[in-house]
Structure 1
Amino acid sequence: MAKNTNDEQFKNVISHAKEYGFVFQSSEIYDGLSAVYDYGQLGAELKNNLKTYWWKAMVQLHENIVGIDSAIFMHPKVWKASGHVDGFNDPMIDNKDSKKRYRADQLLEDKIARYEKDGKTDKAAKLQAEMDDALKAEDLQQLKTLIEQHEIACPVSGTKNWTEVRQFNLMFSTQFGAMAEGSEEVYLRPETAQGIFVNFLNVQKSGRMKIPFGIAQIGKAFRNEVIARQFIMRMREFEQMEMQFFVRPGEDKKWFAYWKEARLKWHLALGTPAEKYRYHDHVKLAHYANAATDIEFEFPFGFKEVEGIHSRTDFDLSQHQEYSGKKMQYFDNDLDETGKPYGNYVPYVIETSIGLDRMFLLTLINAFEEQDLSEGDKQDSRTLLRLHPCLAPYKVAIFPLTKKDGLPEKARAIMDNLKLDFNCIYEEKDAIGKRYRRQDAIGTPFCVTVDHQTLEDDTVTIRHRDTMEQQRIEIKHLDELIASKTSWKTLFCKD
């Protein structure tokens, strides 16, 4: 079986996601809504498992990190204070022939990726440096010049007939109020972080939190992305998993280094090859940051960000203090090196922010395999999702060998017992081999088959997804075996 190219692999993953109920186009019966997707029955399970893995790692395993769930609607002044009203822009360029709009920096990034693929590493490095300089200086004319110099054409029209580069604000706005004439313009939040910052005092005082401490949150955010591409990689409605860690001024560099290392370990614990990940330090820093690093994953279309670690200084709390008139200070009675209390200060913040939808896509891509199982003249193959057992939508599938002789009843009794602890699926249609293949394709780590011998000695055959090995086991030991592979301890208690 010929090995798929990266493009073919990505297309196969997208097709697989729809066929097996992971991801659907939103409003598909009405021809869909661009850059908006629905998670199907298996996608919702996988997504929830990723949330659980993150929440346990952040909140459950850290005594000094708590979680909140803030509202999507916030006072308009929040976004003025955060800088989003005036500065949340992307450099956009239009092609005059196709009438399509593109992010100028992404056109250049795609060109850099093509140079690297063609072995033109010097050209790629030079263009990367020139683009970084232009972005840092916010030199829109230079961005257009680079697009022209490198003869970048519109993917739709194939022409190089470009407009000037302009800034485009990404926030969605809507009206808040029952009557149109008395309504107020508010925004759908473009990030979840501000909900944490405006609740800093509430959480600190009600939870009696002592610095350093963190506040975590999982929630929806909305950005009016003009460029929607690469499936669920870039969407207008997406979900973030963020943690803001509040520290003493002067200790931000130490904690930035700590969280940078800790977050990569979280990714690698799932078994992803280390060479698939890399750090990318920002050249152009956001207005609030004094350091920023992306954790990037090698998708079929190149290395892209999945998580950002940012040292946000005291910008956010100071801004909200100024705009709200409320003091966002912390009184620290611990003693400094001179033996005096640290006293009042506005804390600095280290942020870890991961895109849940990108993590979902990363997980699917990393797990997807098309295996050739042919032997001699016998042709055979299978599609496999080699998901970590903790993330698998179903932990175990229960099969009666036939639909008669009391086997379905016995299988149902086993499932009724297991489903108290594990997400299970029951199947009795088709030959056993076909049922195995379906479970391989959705990532179920174990399949339990109930046969006539089961009725005699209370043993079943359990099949392991990755190896296809089958073993006979007593029913009373099923819980223990499945738990040993699907427990969260397998991720958090490694040597």
Structure 2
Amino acid sequence: MSTLVTFAKTKGFVYQGSEIYGGLANSWDYGQLGALLKENIKNLWIKEFVQKRKDMVLLDASIMMNPNVWVASGHVGSFSDPLMECRGCNTRHRADKLIEEALEKNASFPVPNNWAGDKTPLEDLNVYNKSGHLACPNCGAKNWGEVKRFNLMLSTSQGTTEDATALVYLRPETAQGIFVNFPNIARSSRKKIPFGVAQCGKAFRNEITPKNFIFRTREFEQIEIEYFCKPGTDAETFETWLVDEGKFFTDALGLKADKVRFVEIPAEGLPHYSKRAGDFEYLFPFGWGEISTLANRTDYDLGAHMKHSGADLSYFDPYDNTKYLPYVIEPSIGLSRLTLAAMCDAYDEIPGEEGTSKVVMRFAPAVAPIKVGVFPLVKKFAESANELYDILSKEFMCEYDEAGTIGKRYQRADEIGIPFSICVEPENYDQWQVTVRDRDSGEQEIVRIDELVLWLKQKGC
């Protein structure tokens, strides 16, 4: 993983946040290539799940909401992790995660009574800690303080005062903005159930143990859908989204199929709001990690908000003249994690000259940060190459490079994942043609300039 982190910084995918001031723990800035990659993944998701469908609309809800939203959703009362402190080095750790990591290495590792991951009762975790099974990953000591609940929501104050009346939270998830807007969306969009609401946006969680580069961070982006359906059709709808989301990861985004899996969450591990749920995981260099959760949230959220707000969030179905609270199927993707998965999946080292190796980032053309490289064979053809750049840049994100040999420019293009590189040379350009090189195969093809835009679009750019 350290190799990818260094590469990401060197090439402009991801930088350490506030680096000139020594950085800020778990803070990352997306560079010129990372920002484009993340945006392309988001736009591909919108195209596949909103633009191409008649049953979807898009929402952009506020990050800060009325605090009662989070009371109703259960976040104020129960959105917490079991935290304990090592008395040897004073570092803090999640009790459940240390146990889970131990179980990954040894399936017969002892667990507490009533073991249920982060839902294991605190009294059982505290009894277990006295047994000496868990060693601190930082110093190796087995001397732990009391396990306590740690709320994950980040709060701030709105306005000029800082008392309880000014308290607001930075949203820990984007879903609740959709639920509280359900009646507005149903009325204004004139959509009939089943239909879905998609949203892209940032969320914030005061994670105890952020780690693995941009995989687990306190500030992150989600792209998710709340799909409203009639009770009784939810099981079938879940299965449909299971297939559709899996195809998005492998077919549209181009992730390797053998590195993507769906893991069903057992009944005892389900969130309080969920009837069924599972995680799509990707095989990162550090192991399998969740990139998306698919959940049947039933009518829990709409019911909770209807109870706490007093507003009627039920839906009148014109097809059978019934009134009900819709069930909700939620495909929720961590965009930051999916961006990391795309980088890991694309990264490839191939033999170079004299025993060295070189990097090729094999992004799918649809999400590649730069789609086309435009290179004059020699600098005296720069004017023609710039003319071509002006034509192509109206349709695609392009890179112009005239420094060094054409071979070196191809190599630089491969390193940042440009799928197609165009060499402008006089014998072809005079005939209104250019040579296009394919990043992955290395093959070259002569293409007419007046057909070039269509040719590139047909290749997935």
Letter in 2 for 1:184: A
Tell which deviates more after alignment, 144-153 or 35-44: 144-153
One of 184, 190, 198 as aligned partner of 2:166: 184
2:406 maps to 432
Provide the residue aligned with 1:372 in structure 2. Answer: 351
In 1: Cα distance, 2:286 partner to 2:313 partner:
43
1:447 aligns with 2:421: yes
> Percent same amino acid at aligned positions?
43
**8 Å contact 1:108–1:131 — kept in the other structure?**
no
Matched residue type, 1:452: P
- Shift in Å at residue 179 of structure 1? 3.7
* Whole-angstrom CA distance in 1 between matches of 2:33 and 2:128: 44
Residues 382-461 of structure 1: pairs in structure 2 closer than 5 A = 382-404=358-380, 407-461=381-435
Aligned residue in 2 for 1:285: 270
User: Corresponding residue for 2:82?
Assistant: 91
Q: Under a length normalisation based on structure 1, what TM-score does the superposition of the two structures give?
A: 0.88
Q: What amino acid maps onto 2:435 in structure 1?
A: T
Q: Distance in 1 between matches of 2:261 and 2:316?
A: 38
Check 1:262–1:143 CA distance in 2 against 1; reply closer, same or farther (3 A cut).
farther
2:241 paired residue number = 259
Counterpart of 2:326?
A: 347
TM-aligned CA deviation for residue 163 of structure 1 = 1.7
Q: Give 1:381's aligned residue.
A: 357
Q: Does 1:271 align with 2:254?
A: yes
Local SS of the residue matching 2:12: coil
Contact kept, 8 Å, 1:136 with 1:285, in 2: the verdict is no
Q: In structure 2, which of residues 279, 292, 295 is the aligned counterpart of residue 294 of structure 1?
A: 279
Query: Residues 453 and 380 from structure 1, CA distance in 2 versus in 1: closer, same or farther, beyond 3 angstroms?
Result: farther
* Root-mean-square deviation over aligned CA pairs: 2.0
CA distance in 2, matches of 1:462, 1:380: 26
How far did residue 367 of structure 1 move? Answer: 0.6
Distance 2:326 2:10 in 1: 49
What are the equivalent positions in structure 2 for 1:51-90 lying under 5 Å apart? Answer: 51-90=42-81
Displacement after TM superposition at 1:420 (Å)? 1.0
| Unaligned segments of structure 2, at least 5 residues | none
CA separation in 2, counterparts of 1:408 and 1:391?
Answer: 28
Structure 1: runs of 5 or more not aligned: 1-9, 116-121, 336-340, 488-495
In 1, Cα distance between equivalents of 2:345 and 2:236: 32
1:137 Cα offset (Å)? 5.7
Tell me, yes or no, if the aligned pair for 2:81 and 2:118 is still in contact at 8 Å: no
Q: Please state whether the residue corresponding to 2:270 is helix, strand or coil.
A: coil
Give the Cα separation in 2 of the matches to 1:114 and 1:327.
50
Partner of 1:330: 315
Q: 1:44 corresponds to which residue?
A: 35
3-state secondary structure, aligned to 1:486:
coil
Shift of 1:226: 1.6
Q: Which residue of 2 aligns with 1:111?
A: 102
Which residue is equivalent to 1:482?
456
Does 1:246 pair with 2:228?
Answer: yes
Question: Secondary structure at 2:318's aligned position in 1?
Answer: strand
Provide the secondary structure at the position in 2 that maps to 1:476. Answer: helix
**Matched-pair contact (CA < 8 Å) for 2:132–2:142:** no
Q: TM-score, normalised by structure 2?
A: 0.94
- Deviation digits for residues 68-90 of structure 1 (CA, Å, limit 9, x no counterpart): 10001100100000000000011
1:194 paired residue number? 176
Which one-letter code corresponds to 2:86 in the other structure?
N
SS at match of 2:319: strand
SS of structure 1 residue aligned to 2:447: strand
Query: Number of aligned pairs?
Result: 458
Q: Is the 8 A contact 1:309 1:350 kept in 2?
A: yes
Alignment partner of 1:123: what SS? coil
* Displacement after TM superposition at 1:380 (Å): 4.9
Map Cα deviations across residues 266-321 of structure 1 (whole Å, 9 max, x no partner).
Answer: 11113323221222222311111111111111111111111101111111111111
Offset at residue 144 of structure 1 (A) = 5.2
Specify the SS of the correspondent of 2:214. Answer: helix
**Alignment CA distance shift 1:213-1:179 (3 Å):** same
Cα 1:251–1:472 shift into 2, 3 Å: closer
Q: In the TM superposition, what is the alpha-carbon distance from 1:153 to its structure 2 partner?
A: 2.2
Relative to structure 1, the CA distance from residue 292 to residue 70 in structure 2 (aligned partners, 3 Å threshold; closer, same or farther) is same
Q: One-letter code of the match for 1:160?
A: K
Superposed displacement of residue 132, structure 1: 8.0
Task: Choose which of 168, 172, 188 in structure 1 pairs with 2:154.
Answer: 172
Q: Secondary structure at the match of 1:334?
A: coil
Match of 1:321? 306
The Cα of 1:429 is off from its aligned counterpart by 1.1
SS at match of 2:358: strand
- The answer on whether the counterparts of 1:228 and 1:235 sit within 8 Å (CA) in structure 2 is yes
More moved, 269-278 vs 193-202: 269-278
In 2: Cα distance, 1:432 partner to 1:243 partner: 45
Per-residue displacement from partner, 1:213-266 (whole Å, max 9, x unpaired)? 111100100001121110001111100011001111222112112212221111
Cα distance change of structure 1 residues 16 and 461 upon mapping to structure 2, 3 Å threshold: same
* Distance in 1 (alpha carbons) for counterparts of 2:402 and 2:127: 63
